[in-house]
Amino acid sequence: MKSFVRIVSMLVLLPAASWGAPQAATDAPAAAPDTSQRKVIAPAGTETVRALTLKECYRLALKQSELIAIRGELIKEAEAHFLQAFGTVMPQASFVRAERRQHSDITPSANKGFDQQFVFTQLLFSGFKEIARMSASKFEKKSRTDEKTRAEQLLFTDVSDAFYLLLELRDDLETLDVIKKALMERVAELKEREAIGKSRASEVVMTQVQLYTLEAEVELVRAQERVARELLEFLIGGPADEIVDPDASIAVKPECDYVAEAPSRKDVTAAYEAWQAALKRITVARSGYFPTVNIEGDVYTHRFSSPQDAHWAAYFTVDVPVFTGTIVYGDVMQATAIARENELLYQRAKRVAVREIHDAYTIVEAALRRSRILENAQKAAEENYRLQTEDYKLNCVNNLDVLSSIQTLNNTRREHIHAEYQAKRYFWQLLTAAGEIDTDQ
């Protein structure tokens, strides 16, 4: 799922300037949409519904995700392994009935009979195998629990990516809608000027080209918005007609603070616990070299075999392995190799965590700087458009210059929207990389 979100993001979030279509902007800077102040964004014409926040979307996704449910079942499997190991050291009791059929001409009455007794068995010693198995199952359960927590953190990244992607595209649609209205007003104004001889027919046609190009762009963004909305709805298992981002603040700590949290990241601790469980399984394999000691008792409720007057029997069994070929040696070698593999996976998990944190921090820092620069660029583009409009009224510039300023303003606005939401997505990816996402909160 995470890779799917990334692919959708790459397809949808191409910079406006790279699409190759000339863009347009509003007829006055005052009409520019203020994305920093707008919090609730919903498609036009939708019914009033309760707006979903990022936290609420995540809670819905936790209930919907099959992958998280699978992780929960793996934890139950680890618990079952502990119960299985613990059960072998507990006393065993069973009821046995054994019927006998034989042929005897001397004593025909002895041809048919049965024994019926309770059998009690207690394992006394097995080379510490069961203790090691119980210890391994405890580490396995901790590992599975941490893996589930890490899966929940990664799910949060998927939800936040889809959430902000949808907000960004709806912001983009509102911006394009404002620009479209401004261009329509400009076409009407140019036609009036053409009627009195102040504008040429080519100026009207050129502006109409911009308008038609913008309408085509609106259709493309609408399709992308539907894809993003369906992706979020797939994750949360319900409608996402209205979403809201009440907390738009981003506070990034120094990189060293995030790196210091790498060893405690849940996938790293899960790898460590898997390594410890593998070490315990070496002890399980080595127990094949040790003898097994059992005590067994039988209490007869009916006895046919000799001696018929015995009502109980007890057995003390010592099973000493003398020669088992290379079976036990092979088991020990395999367990040792698996433990070494898990140790290497743990070492790699620590290094990967540090690298992912560093990469995420670098990206979010660059995204924040880019967003601030584009904010200044947008202000400059708005001022440029205002000046070009005033100069056009004074016949100091032509309509091509005004359209060029509109295109620049439009591209800058959309780039700023893209950079703003991109920074938010990268910020949550940084927190996920550092393992700071508290799934309980």
299, burial (CB in 10 Å: exposed 0-12, middle 13-18, buried 19+): middle
Q: How far is residue 146's CA from residue 34's CA, in Å, rounded to a whole number?
A: 42
Check residue 432 and give its pLDDT: 92
pTM higher than 0.85 for the full model?
no
The CATH topology of domain 2-433 is Outer membrane efflux proteins (OEP) (1.20.1600)
Segment 375-386, tens digit of pLDDT:
999 999 889 888
The DSSP bridge partners found for residue 95 are 118
- 212 vs 22, 194, 336, CA distance in Å? 10, 20, 69
Check residue 111 and give its pLDDT: 65
Q: How far is residue 130's CA from residue 134's CA, in Å, rounded to a whole number?
A: 6
- DSSP-derived secondary structure letter, 36: T
User: Which residue numbers in the chain have pLDDT < 70?
Assistant: 1-50, 102-111, 247-248, 440-441
* Residue 72: count of CB within 10 angstroms of its CB: 13
What are the domain boundaries of the chain? Answer: 2-433
- 60 vs 148, 239, 427, CA distance in Å? 16, 11, 21
Check residue 34 and give its pLDDT: 41
287, burial (CB in 10 Å: exposed 0-12, middle 13-18, buried 19+): buried
Check residue 416 and give its pLDDT: 92
Residue 91 φ then ψ, to 5°: -60, 145
Check residue 44 and give its pLDDT: 46
Residue 380 CA from chain centroid, whole number: 40
